[in-house]
Amino acid sequence: MIRLNLPSFDIKVSGSKQHPQILDVLRRKFISLTPEEWVRQHFVHFLIEHKGYPASLLANEIQLKCGDKVLRADSVLYSRELQPRMIIEYKAPHIPITQKVFDQISVYNLLLHVDFLVVSNGLEHYICKMDYESKKYVFLETIPDYSDLLTL
């Protein structure tokens, strides 16, 4: 797999060379190792180990219903009151972060109404803070530590 712009971690893999799997620490099971999953696992470990995000407040592959349509948010960070606070959308490293990616995460946000939207392909990471009163958003320069996130 490609080297990402994220810290390395103790990767646990299993399966065969043709069908490798990686341990998802949040779902506590092995998942097919796709390029997008490679990014997700690196990003989740980055949040937990380097930014202080509680693993107990993060969840992967959150199912959302929009009428008859079923959607899946890649990762969601919840508040201690279990309200959605951040949506994270991952793409494989070879997929550029475009307006289409932000449009996709915005659809999820229509349902969850979170404070922060994050998109990453493992090489580039973007985070924006929503301002619902002014009906705008502001891009932050870096992914904040969890303790700082609580004050934003």
Q: Tell me: the pLDDT tens digits for 65-82?
A: 888 889 999 999 999 999
CB count in 10 Å sphere of residue 64: 17
* Beta-bridge partners for 87: 76, 117
Give the chain's domains with CATH numbers.
13-149 (3.90.1570.30)
pTM: 0.94
Please compute the mean of the pLDDT values over residues 40-63 and round it to a whole number.
Answer: 97
Reported for 144-149, long-range contacts at CB under 8 A and 24+ positions apart, including other chains, are: 144/51, 145/51, 145/52, 146/47, 146/51, 146/52, 146/53, 146/54, 147/52, 149/53, 149/85, 149/86, 149/116
What is the rounded CA–CA span in Å between residue 131 and residue 149? Answer: 14
Q: Tell me: the pLDDT tens digits for 110-131?
A: 999 999 999 999 999 999 999 9
Collect all residues with Cβ–Cβ distance below 8 Å to 56 and sequence separation of at least 6. none
